[in-house]
Chain A
Amino acid sequence: MTNPSETQKAGGGLLAGMSPWALAGHALPWAIAIGFFFIAEGYLSFGTQIIIWILFALSLDLALGYAGIVTLGQAAFFGFGAYAAGWFSIHVSPDPILGHLFAIGLTAIVGLISGALILHTTGVTFLMLTLATVLIMFEYANQAKEITGGDDGLQGMKVGPIFGKYEFNLFGHTAYVYSLIVLFIWFVIMWRVVKSPFGRSLDGIRQNARRMRAIGTPVWWRLLAVYTLSAAMAGSAGALSAHATRFVGLSVLSLLTSGIVTVMLILGGTRRLYGAFVGAIVYFVVQDYTAKISPYFWEFIVGGMLIATVLFLEGGLMDLGGIARRQWERLTGKASKP
């Protein structure tokens, strides 16, 4: 998957040595996101939701895509972050940024502890442990009504203005811009992390953990580090969701939430950075359209897309471009690289 020449660009800034086409490719999604703000005012809360789920899917990409940690427990961190932010806004301070940082920090700690407990296992056992993590949190949240509101959800969140200035208004202007900025910050962090010696060691661990131990890699520590970072990102997405809707429902901690974010990532394509973007957008658009036909049709379509992706399009939708280019090169008779 990795283009060998890409790794040649050692040193220098993030964008150094990038071709104009690649630069344009990077600028496009962000330009669309900014343009959306001005032309689709009526859909800003829909847009905010997509941005939050992109961030959530990116967090999964880090663990599952890059490090090869096959987890179904990502909802635990998303939900934990959401509840942490909600609880903070009610009991400590309505300041959204403080609440957000609090949620990130606390979720990172949860990721660190749960990762330390379970990352020495592999395969189905690991998968079960991640499922159990989500279920424990779900059942706990269902019970601890005084903290979480149980089945009714966490109500009465107070969200103050950002920097004491920008109110979260009814149309969602602030929430949209705020979420987009948070997504951008995480995106840059993640980009740097995966394209670094550390990121390369994750590539190695994903492909063959035993080999990595044989060349001296402390595999468990690497995985723990990336799992914690991934948890923090998911917690951040959860906090955004809590602030944007001023509500946290029990469903943030459900297995379905884990399932949906996995679907988005796989549809879009793992290890592509923008795969999470494509996947989340396609998912929401499909859901929006098909739900009008019948309330459950979307689940059928999404399930079908997931099956088709696994069987026929392992690189996800992001791979379509590459496939098209190879076909084009074959048709035009251009010699492709060996």
Chain B
Amino acid sequence: MSSPVLSVRGLSKSFGALVVAQNIELDLMAGARVGLIGPNGAGKTTFVNLLTGFLRPDAGTIQLDGIAIEGMRPEDRVHRGLARTHQINTLLVEESARDNVAITIAEREKFAWRAIRYSPQWQQCLDEAQARLDEIGIGDVGDRQVRHLPYGKQRLLEIAIALALKPRVLLLDEPAAGVPSSETHVFHKVLDRLPAEIAILIIEHDMDVIFRFAKEIVVLVQGRVLTRGEPAQIAVDPQVRAVYLGRTVV
């Protein structure tokens, strides 16, 4: 029962002389809520790219449900249950919000090779897409072209798309970055309601979000894990305060 869904061992990567990941270890259990923090350039996004397969590690293993995935292509990892959100919007801006989700569902269900016409399955994709938009509270703008959506709703759509993949592990890369503070309570609610069984790794600059949401925090500095522990511990850890919290006043 206690075997982790995602297990990272000795993950290392460098670009020439620049070490961006050094011997990183991480276990995510089902239902985990782990926060990943660290100063700018600590290698957080690199770590996400290594996990999702957009970068190849120099050394180390990544296991998803006990299967080695470090050699797999990004799209195969997704089909095995590893999803992510993007720090910068990479939504399909010419499409409607609903179509963004429906296209995702079609990939998940492997309908997307159907090249003859819209089949009844496509209608299922659209229906499920609408349901998922409703769930996250943006069902009313399903018809709107994404480029015309307010920024906060685009960020929510980003999460809806990741959830539509029915992931076992979800990597949230600064989900609330750039969202006006008047809307952060919406995000808190969405994050609180994420399906309990999904293992989640969240990267955030906003300490409020991290300390509210995460049960465990990993601190990354210069590609290495500096320390890890419960939020209360981390908040008072002098090492962490020195390299990180000291500079961005909480």
Contacts and interface: CB of A to CB of B under 8 A. Distances in A.
Interface in B44-101: 52, 54, 73-76, 78-79, 83-84, 86, 90-96, 98-99
B114 A197 contact: yes
| Size class of the contact patch on chain A | 35 or more
Q: In the complex, which of the residues B78, B94, B96 has the most CB atoms of chain A within 10 Å of its own CB atom? A: B94
A215 B103 contact: yes
A199 B148 CA distance: 23
Contacts of A119: none
B122 interface: yes
A211 B84 CA distance: 10
B86 A214 contact: yes
Contacts of A218: 73, 75
A72 to B, nearest CB: 24
A1 B107 CA distance: 22
B200 interface: no
Contact of B94 (A2, A14, A222): A2
A196 B117 contact: yes
B99 A7 contact: yes
A203 B165 CA distance: 19
A8 interface: yes
A2 B75 contact: no
Contact of A197 (B83, B84, B91, B122): B122
Interface in A167-217: 192-193, 195-201, 203-204, 207-208, 210-217
Q: In the complex, which of the residues A5, A204, A338 has the most CB atoms of chain B within 10 Å of its own CB atom? A: A204
A197 B165 CA distance: 16
A199 B93 CA distance: 16
Interface of A: 1-2, 4-5, 7-11, 14, 192-193, 195-201, 203-204, 207-208, 210-219, 222, 225, 338
15 contacts: A1-B94, A4-B96, A10-B123, A11-B122, A196-B119, A197-B111, A197-B118, A200-B99, A203-B103, A213-B73, A213-B75, A214-B78, A216-B79, A217-B75, A338-B144
